[in-house]
Structure 1
Amino acid sequence: MRVAGYRAITCAFLLMLLSTLQVWAQLPQPSDTVYLTSGRNKIILPFKLVHNLIVLPVRVNNSQSLNFILDSGVQNVLITHLHFDDSLDLQQTSRIKIRGLGEGYTIEALHSVGNTISMPGVAGENLTVYVLLEEVFDLSMRMGMPVHGIIGYDIFKNFIVKINYSTQTITLYKPDYKVRKKRKAEEYALHIEDSKPYLYGSVRQHNGDSLDVKLIVDTGASHSLSLYLPTNERLSLPPKVMEAYLGRGLGGDINGKIGRLPGFRLGKYNIENLTANYPDEQAVKHALNIAGRNGNLGSEILKRFTVIFDYPHQKLTLIPNRKFKEPFNYNMAGFEVSTPLPGINFYTISNVVDDSPAKLVGMQPGDQLLYINGRNCTELQLQELLNMLDSRPGSKLRLRLKRAKEIIDVNVVLQSKI
């Protein structure tokens, strides 16, 4: 079946909670193969890092190069968005219903088996592909570049995967290759359950209580930690939290709270004063009884290490990089930005948080950002702009906005509420 140019979708705050994708049908899983096309033991692939998410070029069947997020929490290839000039030659398709985190409903998708993928030096055969048929996410607009889908377990299970966030490269090793590790490296048991990777850590809460937590390791989540309060009666909210729109999953909006944890420990590494998300119970109800997990560990923490996923031997290795001791910031301006024309530096306000600095000065969804601190926004890459929103409390943003035909100047003072 040929799929061409349908309008699809993506995510809001990029809380990629696709790890709970459930297929509502008993579907046979084919025996797939992903391998290096050369005779070498490894291959190095560059990637783009946007919103802490890894973006790789991937071809599906005979398609042109498409941009995929590498998500350790998703099992099969998931197509979330195709532009009008994109096409796939999908094999053996059928319609199914799927659901994930969020407060909404199930959605329809195409299920296709017998497909191929390719990246430079890498090929995959007989793969399962899902294509969403409804608008759920909006990754391209949120990431400032065309994003077409998500890939995960098909890559991780067939290789030892080394992610170097500092150099923005991924090295894929054959499963029997002996990867050299630096002295600072620490190795952890990685528990693969239902195609998803878990590890155990310890959170230190504001009341001094420390408890062990089981977390899915999720390269497709842009946050640091997400903790599910109903999974353990000892888990509690920090004394200072803010209501937040955390994102959008396959099942709809994900709301909750953001606060700070005094500490999170992984083996010998103690990470202090970090931000944490606490999704509302309704938004994560489908994940509460899966594998006894208490939440997920996202890329705001992972990017502070070089990370080696070894699914074949069920091990995870962490090597701290220069970002290890950087503070954990978050958006203190109270507004979110999207790019209606992905790939072009044209920015609009997509969401304004109630009782935030942005709300207090009258900013509204749909406002176009023209200038920020005297800089023309057409000269700013999305990540540069977002870094300004994550600055220090008390910092002032001088904004020039366009609303319909009106030009508006406002000053937003960043304010920490947690």
Structure 2
Amino acid sequence: MKKLFKPLFIFWAGFLCLVPVANAQVLGLELLDKKDEVKIDFKYAQGFILVDVKFNNSLPLTFILDTGAEHVILFNKTITDILGIQYEKRISLVGSDLEKEVFAFIARNITLTLEECKTVKRDIIVLEEDFLHLEEITGEAIHGIVGSRFFRGLVMEINYRKKKLKLINSEKFDSTKQKNYTKIPIEITGHKPYINCSLLNDKNEKIDVNLLIDTGSALPFLLFMESHPSLVLPKTFIKGNLGKGLGGDLEGYLSKLKELSITDEFKFTNIVTSFQPVPENFSEEVYRNRNGLIGNPILSRFDVTIDFVRNNLYLKPNKKYNRKFEYDKSGLTIYAFGANLDNFFVKDILENSPASEAGIQKGDMIKKVGFWPAHFYTLGAITRKFQKNEGKKIKMVLERNGHRYKTHIILRDMLNSKP
């Protein structure tokens, strides 16, 4: 039976191969409306940076801020259909699983407004079908992504602690004011930022890697296994579902990497790492310039500044820098549903996990976690409960075929121990 693993965080790779949108050469500078800078509030939920966007001068929507994608992408075509928006042409995309072909439409000159920013017109990609259903797997209403091309020509500051995004006119940006920041050179390819790092594998081999700086990923760290001959799986790993991306579930492996070095100063040891296989028949051209990505669970340990003009990254550790990386120790994959996304069910279970040993089955409805009814929680709050320390006992009430039953889960670190 195929093993499934609850994603550490839901994953949007932002990895798209598509026809570039023509005539979309407007610089991000116009967002500032002649100001030196603007500040935008965001919500940080389930490892995603979520920003409010007024769509077509009418609809308030929520988009993921995604430096790992180039374009603005709308997930739900029903929105543009209702608004009577016309499409120029149908295009094909390669999803983040690197295999499945999906389809989308180009819509031209759509008005978009971010908080405190001038309303601008952009060409966008509209998915023919919403393959993601991110509301189920994040417990948040999410309608699309805003890619890095939207902010072209600007300097972007991300303060995860204050949940503030600052967009700065590059001509007004003074790098000397970046006190206590470490300046790191980066590459900008396809409007997306890449950084050269190094890692240590199980054999203590140092491997130089090129990684996407991906604010659209809620995974801490992901590697393409076939992108370097020394990127091999550690001895202890879990096979299963890494999360969701365009095109569906991302299959791969979860393990711990000995060390990731962003610089000599910033190193992470025993870091939870996702390993994604690349299909044998997939063109090397697509991933030859990168070996993987760094996502928000790592980036959020810093105050981050990305200078898209001068190709520099500035990092300053914050109070979260030394916190351990949390991940699921139950074996459950839980989805939210309902009008308020406060009902929950078991989507998948990892074999030989604490959840399977507790008798929980796929499709069971979660009615109570600990002392409180499940609807008192958000999906994120329930997820965090199952990331607690190994050995913690969590009581649950579930429902199967109309009948309720009680059980409990004893959390276990499945990357370090055996049942």
TM-score normalized with structure 1 length: 0.90
Distance (whole Å) between structure 2 residues aligned to residue 403 and residue 275 of structure 1: 33
Distance (whole Å) between structure 2 residues aligned to residue 400 and residue 76 of structure 1: 43
Q: How far 1:145 sits from its partner (Å)?
A: 2.0
1:33-87, CA deviations, whole angstroms, 9 ceiling, x for partnerless residues?
A: 4324554311111111111110000122223110000010111110013677995
Greater Cα shift, 64-73 or 114-123: 114-123
Q: Which residue of 1 aligns with 2:13?
A: 17
Contact 1:399 1:411 in 2 (8 A): yes
The question of 1:122 aligning with 2:117 is answered yes
Contact 1:16 1:249 in 2 (8 A): yes
**One-letter amino acid of the counterpart of residue 90, structure 2:** R
Contact 1:191 1:314 in 2 (8 A): yes
**CA 1:396–1:83: 2 relative to 1, 3 Å:** farther
Distance (whole Å) between structure 2 residues aligned to residue 72 and residue 103 of structure 1: 19
Distance (whole Å) between structure 1 residues aligned to residue 307 and residue 284 of structure 2: 25
Distance (whole Å) between structure 1 residues aligned to residue 187 and residue 65 of structure 2: 19
Contact 2:212 2:294 in 1 (8 A): yes
Q: Which residue of 2 aligns with 1:44?
A: 39
Q: How far 1:412 sits from its partner (Å)?
A: 0.9
Q: Which residue of 2 aligns with 1:327?
A: 324
**CA 1:171–1:87: 2 relative to 1, 3 Å:** farther
The question of 1:343 aligning with 2:340 is answered yes
Q: Which residue of 2 aligns with 1:77?
A: 72
The question of 1:407 aligning with 2:404 is answered yes
Contact 2:333 2:349 in 1 (8 A): yes
**CA 1:26–1:136: 2 relative to 1, 3 Å:** same
Counterpart mapping for 1:154-303 below 5 A: 154-179=149-174, 181-267=177-263, 268-282=265-279, 285=282, 289-303=286-300
Distance (whole Å) between structure 2 residues aligned to residue 42 and residue 328 of structure 1: 33
Q: Which residue of 2 aligns with 1:28?
A: 22
Unaligned runs of 5+ in 1: 1-10
1:127-171, CA deviations, whole angstroms, 9 ceiling, x for partnerless residues?
A: 121111123111111121211000122333232111111111111
Contact 2:77 2:127 in 1 (8 A): no
- Amino-acid identity (%): 24
The question of 1:357 aligning with 2:351 is answered no
Match of 2:363, SS?
coil
Distance (whole Å) between structure 1 residues aligned to residue 284 and residue 336 of structure 2: 31
Match of 2:355, SS?
helix
Distance (whole Å) between structure 2 residues aligned to residue 360 and residue 237 of structure 1: 27
TM-score normalized with structure 2 length: 0.90
Which one of 81, 85, 90 corresponds to residue 85 of structure 2? Answer: 90
Distance (whole Å) between structure 2 residues aligned to residue 12 and residue 204 of structure 1: 22
1:306-328, CA deviations, whole angstroms, 9 ceiling, x for partnerless residues?
A: 11111011111111011100011
Distance (whole Å) between structure 2 residues aligned to residue 26 and residue 262 of structure 1: 38
1:278-299, CA deviations, whole angstroms, 9 ceiling, x for partnerless residues?
A: 1123399457743421111111
1:248-274, CA deviations, whole angstroms, 9 ceiling, x for partnerless residues?
A: 322333111111112111111111221
Distance (whole Å) between structure 2 residues aligned to residue 76 and residue 12 of structure 1: 26
**One-letter amino acid of the counterpart of residue 166, structure 1:** R
Contact 2:43 2:51 in 1 (8 A): yes
Match of 1:176, SS?
helix
Distance (whole Å) between structure 2 residues aligned to residue 112 and residue 134 of structure 1: 15
**One-letter amino acid of the counterpart of residue 218, structure 2:** S
Aligned residue pairs, count: 406
Distance (whole Å) between structure 2 residues aligned to residue 89 and residue 406 of structure 1: 46
**One-letter amino acid of the counterpart of residue 28, structure 1:** A
Unaligned runs of 5+ in 2: 1-6
Distance (whole Å) between structure 2 residues aligned to residue 286 and residue 323 of structure 1: 38
**One-letter amino acid of the counterpart of residue 36, structure 2:** N
**CA 1:284–1:352: 2 relative to 1, 3 Å:** farther
Match of 1:219, SS?
coil
Q: Which residue of 2 aligns with 1:145?
A: 140
Contact 1:102 1:283 in 2 (8 A): no
**CA 1:253–1:382: 2 relative to 1, 3 Å:** closer
Distance (whole Å) between structure 2 residues aligned to residue 337 and residue 324 of structure 1: 28
The question of 1:63 aligning with 2:76 is answered no
Distance (whole Å) between structure 2 residues aligned to residue 141 and residue 249 of structure 1: 13
Q: How far 1:243 sits from its partner (Å)?
A: 1.0
Distance (whole Å) between structure 1 residues aligned to residue 395 and residue 104 of structure 2: 44
**CA 1:290–1:279: 2 relative to 1, 3 Å:** closer
**One-letter amino acid of the counterpart of residue 313, structure 2:** L
Q: How far 1:90 sits from its partner (Å)?
A: 3.3
Distance (whole Å) between structure 2 residues aligned to residue 327 and residue 13 of structure 1: 15
Distance (whole Å) between structure 1 residues aligned to residue 401 and residue 163 of structure 2: 40
Contact 2:335 2:345 in 1 (8 A): yes
